[in-house]
């Protein structure tokens, strides 16, 4: 699903968080636009900022991608080893994103396609 959500990435071994925007997401992972390049294979935690707070999920960077349309970097993420509570929070987050973008996607939303 296309989206625009502020995220905080806590990368293993780094004291400072990396900030970015989640621009595409699913139950399996997502794409974060960020000005900070990250190494492939680094484990991290992803904080998804939503209206009522922040949702944390664990993930692993699959690779970094430089976008062609602007000078920022992008990082493709894979959500990794989600516990039951994290998986449920992620489902709720995806429902939230889908609800916001429903006028654009109608019945073609990501969660609707999963149920088919």
Q: Is the pLDDT of residue 102 over 60?
A: yes
Residue 46: Cβ within 10 Å count: 23
Region 12-25: mean pLDDT is: 89
Q: Is the pLDDT of residue 37 over 70?
A: yes
Strands (E) located in 1-116: 2-11, 18-25, 29-34, 43-50, 53-66, 73-79
- Which domains are seen in the chain, by residue range? 2-115 (2.40.10.220)
Predicted confidence (pLDDT) per residue in 40-82, tens digit: 888 888 888 777 777 888 876 655 544 443 556 788 888 888 8
Cα–chain-centroid distance for residue 44? 12
What token pair was written down for 70? 């602007």
Prediction pTM value: 0.74
- Of 38 and 103, the structure prediction assigns the larger pLDDT to 38
Q: What is the pLDDT of residue 105?
A: 53
Q: Please report which confidence band the pLDDT of residue 19 belongs to, taking 50, 70 and 90 as the band edges.
A: very high
């Amino acid at each position: 699903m296309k989206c625009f959500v502020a995220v905080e990435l806590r990368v293993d071994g780094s004291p400072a968080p990396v900030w970015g925007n989640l621009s595409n997401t699913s139950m399996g992972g997502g794409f974060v636009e960020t000005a900070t390049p990250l190494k492939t294979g680094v484990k991290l935690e992803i904080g998804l900022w939503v209206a009522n707070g922040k949702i944390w999920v664990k993930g692993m960077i699959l690779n970094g991608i430089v976008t062609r349309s602007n000078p920022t970097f992008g990082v493709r993420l894979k959500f990794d080893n989600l516990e039951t509570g994290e998986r449920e929070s992620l489902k709720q987050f995806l429902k939230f994103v889908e609800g916001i973008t429903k006028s654009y996607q109608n019945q073609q939303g990501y969660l609707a396609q999963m149920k088919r």
